[in-house]
Structures are given as C-alpha cells and as structure tokens.
Structure 1
Amino acid sequence: MVLGLSACTPVEEDPGGDEEAASTEPSDSPSGKPAPDTFTGTAWRVMAEDGARYVTMLDEDGTYRDLRNGDPWQEGDWTYADGPGGKQLCLKPDHEDGLERCWQPGRMKGDTMIATGPGERRIELTRVEYTVPEVQEEGEETE
C-alpha cells in the first residue's frame, strides 16, 4: 500500500462531524462483498496525506508496480496468503532495505475497501483499471 499502500492516508475512525466524509467512507460492515479471492491482475489507488495519488498494480507473475501521480515509483514482489488474522496482501519492495508490509483487506463496498496494516493502520483502497506491464523487446533501450 514501501508500496503506495504504505504511503496512504489512514482512514479516520471518527470523521469529526464532517457529513460528507461520513457518507462516502466505506465501512467494514457485513453488507459489503468480501475482498477478491485473488488480487492477480488488479490495481488499487490510495491517496497519501500529502495529496499524492498512488496506484499499485498486482501482476500475474507475483510482482507489483507502483505509480506515484502517474509516474513509476516502486516495484517488488507480492503475495496473498493466510496470515495470523486471515488472508493478507503482502508487498516487498525490490530495494535493499525494503521491508515487507502486509495488509488485511476488508469487505468491498462498491469499488472500495478498507485494508488494515501494521499497527492497526486503516487505509481506503479504490479499485481502478489494471494495465498489463509493457513488454520490452530484446535489444530495446529503456528510458
């Protein structure tokens, strides 16, 4: 969400009387659909406290790509497997000191869900259009 998921704005437990926030914030209520059985081929957007938008794309080969405001930001490996509290989406960035962070997805409400991560931090994820990674032809230079 490390991943764009880790840089997002936590969901406030008490919207402080802001009626609009209260009406648009998804809930973990049982009335929502369960989280996806698989996250392969999905993309999720989160908003950071500084206003930056992160999109994390979870590719079939077990890698992920993060975009920050539309620009490449970070890559790494992801898994979705049983953890101490149920299924967890875990992301480990490629860089040397990258720490794996795991998030437990909540129930879906429309295209959004709340995920709970380290220290009981809660974030709002919005499902967005997934794009397949570009395949670089042999001999082609990268920018």
Structure 2
Amino acid sequence: MVKYESGESLKCTDVRFVFVTIDTENNKIASVIILTPQYIEQKFGKFGKPTIKHQLLISSKVRKEIYEREDKILSFPDSKKLSYQIRQEYEPPKSGMVEEPSIKNLFSISLLKKMVAEKLIGFKLDAAATKNRGQALEKKFLNC
C-alpha cells in the first residue's frame, strides 16, 4: 500500500498489471493482457509468500485462445468497488512524471485497452538484446 501526504492511499487492489506476449519469431507484440490482482487471485489462486515479483503462468490452452481472438487481447472490467474512482477518458498529466500519482487519475481497464493494448498489437520490435527490446517496448508504451 502507498500512502500519500493527502491521506489517500493506493492499494495493490488498485493496480493494473499489463502483460505483453512477444512473438519472438517475428519480433511483434502478439497479445496484451490487462488484469487486476483481485482477478488473478480469483482465477489462479493465492500465491505463496508475498514477494516483490510474482509470476503468472498461462496454460497453453488459454494462450492459444488469446492468440486466436480477433483482437488478441484478454481484459476484464474493473471491479465495481473502483468504478466510482476510475477515469474513462484520458487527461494528460499537467506536470509530466514529476507529480505523484493520484487515485483520482486511475485509468479504467477499458481505457488502457483502447489507449495501449490495441496500439501495441502487431508492433514490430527490432531483433536486439532482450534489454534493448524491453527499452523499446517501454518507449512505445509511453508514446501510446
């Protein structure tokens, strides 16, 4: 949990995880999955001891279903608990990345899907070292 000076807090349940699958053969983004921690726990169960890094394994059957979808994106609606706090329209930050994030500026999953996931599908990554491809993907993500 992150607590701001204003007293508001950002909890792990407010976080969105964006998973990107890269087709290494063609160096293209093959699919994007946007999930909440709540959905991950409900669908895949609780993880062991909490750590900084969690790993999500998707069965080959489910992966195949995602690849075969027309949009290649797996996403689900926001929780009803957050529905009154999330933004449905994008408003650019007024001071770039120097300002602390605000719970009032939490984007909905559907907005992230439209602004990011749909633009990343088919994006071609240069054949480079993993680190460089990761940096290129970050740059593309920031420019969506």
**Same fold at TM > 0.5:** no
Greater C-alpha radius of gyration: 2
TM-score normalised according to structure 1 size:
0.24
TM-score by length of 2: 0.24
Higher strand share: 1
